[in-house]
Structure 1
Amino acid sequence: MLTNLYLVRHAYSTYSPDELGRPLSQRGFIDAEKIKKLFENEEIDIIISSPYKRAIQTVEGIANFREKVVLLEENFKERTLSIGAVEDFEAAITKVWVEPTFSWSGGESNMDAQKRGVKALKNLLTTCEGKNVVIGTHGNLMTLILNHFDKNYDFNFWKTLDMPDIYKLTFEYQELKEVKRIWNRTENI
């Protein structure tokens, strides 16, 4: 029995230090509408999202079209890099990818964030077997989940992700059978 999980990286947001409440930008809302249209011809059973507003707003059009509720899953939230702002984001994010067990003060290591995300994903494979599930999430966590199954999804891959971006993961029971990118910003403009 096949289960399809669509990992949806959120669209562009309006920057704010409020990670939980940061909304989509005007461009983000335009892209969220395109994502809704992309899924109009797909049979979607369940829509789940990180509790972060930008992730919810990216997938809620699909939920509205399908007359479903967006279910929130804390474990699909973005990885916490640090408890506070970092001086040099590029250096900080590079270090956690180079040293997967390292974490900044109050932050999560790659290994910890990956375990959290993979545990949530595997739970879905059990509870939603045979379903098509859309998951609103974040770029770093999405890459860490993919990296669990294939080490080619690494820091360099993360740097190439679009915002938004969508990857369809097809599982047979708990075994990953296929990963397919179904969003390309240049084709979806």
Structure 2
Amino acid sequence: MQKTLYIVRHCQAVGQEANAPLTSEGNLQAIALADLLFDFGIERVISSPFIRAYQSIAPLTERLGLSIEIDNRLSERVLCATPLADWRERLAESFTNLDLYLDGGESSRGAMARGIAVIDEVLQQEANTIAIVTHGNLMALILKHFDDRIGYAEWGKLSNPDVYRIQFFNGATQVERMICANDISINQNLHY
């Protein structure tokens, strides 16, 4: 079996709420992202239901003539139901203690499991090259599943947008960063 997954973090958005859309720059990033991903042979796209994720990949799917499949399991992880003054410290702790559960939140292990469930299903299906669009925390946890060296520091280096490629070939897995916000050139020559 040879499969390639592109795990995509959404472009720049106006906020963190589920209905927060992309900023003007984020919309331009989405068009530039489509230019960069267009020749990658993507056959299928699965996205978080959050508007910013959907909007980040829409220019690509329109150019490729693909539909966006929505999967609620790709929604961002909620660390805690209430705001925390020390949320960064608690998030860092959640990368070393995967079972850390804060009031009304979701453990890293739980979030990782739902993200990996999507990937496990995709690996059993026909398409060989798939884009999965999600959010920073869940993206980092998915990547950590395949490479335990990934943690809080790597989460902190993620950009909006960001793309990692995970390749599966004969039981081996390779994870590599493909595109980050610095690779996105917003100019007048964008295709849309």
- Partner Cα separation in structure 1 for residue 46 and residue 172 of structure 2: 20
The 1-side partners of 2:129 and 2:36 are apart by 14
Aligned to 1:74: 72
Aligned counterparts, 1:145-184, within 5 A: 145-172=142-169, 175-184=171-180
Kindly state the Cα deviation for residue 176 of structure 1 after the two structures are TM-superposed: 4.2
Q: CA RMSD in A?
A: 1.6
**Match of residue 55 from structure 1:** 53
C-alpha displacement at 1:146, in angstroms?
1.1
The total of aligned residue pairs comes to 185
The aligned residue for residue 28 of structure 1 is 26
Runs (4+) off by over 6 Å: none
1:130-174 superposed Cα distances (whole Å, 9 cap, x missing partner): 51111111111111111111111111111111111000111126x
Unaligned ranges ≥5, structure 2:
186-192
8 Å CA contact 2:158, 2:180 repeated in 1: no
> TM-score, length-normalised on structure 1?
0.91
- Does the C-alpha gap of structure 1 residues 42 and 97 become closer, same or farther in structure 2, counting only changes over 3 Å? closer
Which string of whole-angstrom CA distances, capped at 9 and with x for unpartnered residues, describes residues 68-107 of structure 1? Answer: 1100011111111122333333133223224221111110
SS at match of 1:171: strand
1:169–1:176: 8 Å Cα contact kept in structure 2? no
Q: SS state of the match for residue 90, structure 1?
A: helix
Percent sequence identity is 29
- Give TM-score scaled by structure 2 length: 0.89
- Indicate the residue corresponding to 1:86 in structure 2: 84
Q: Say whether the 8 Å CA contact 2:111–2:141 is kept in structure 1.
A: yes
Aligned AA (1:25):
T
Q: Which residue of 2 aligns with 1:187?
A: 183
Equivalent position of 2:133 in the other structure: 136
Instruction: Tell me the equivalent position of 2:5.
Output: 5
Letter in 2 for 1:6: Y
Structure 1: gaps of 5 or more residues: none
Whether the 8 Å CA contact 1:149–1:176 is kept in 2: the answer is no
Q: Distance in 2 between matches of 1:137 and 1:63?
A: 15
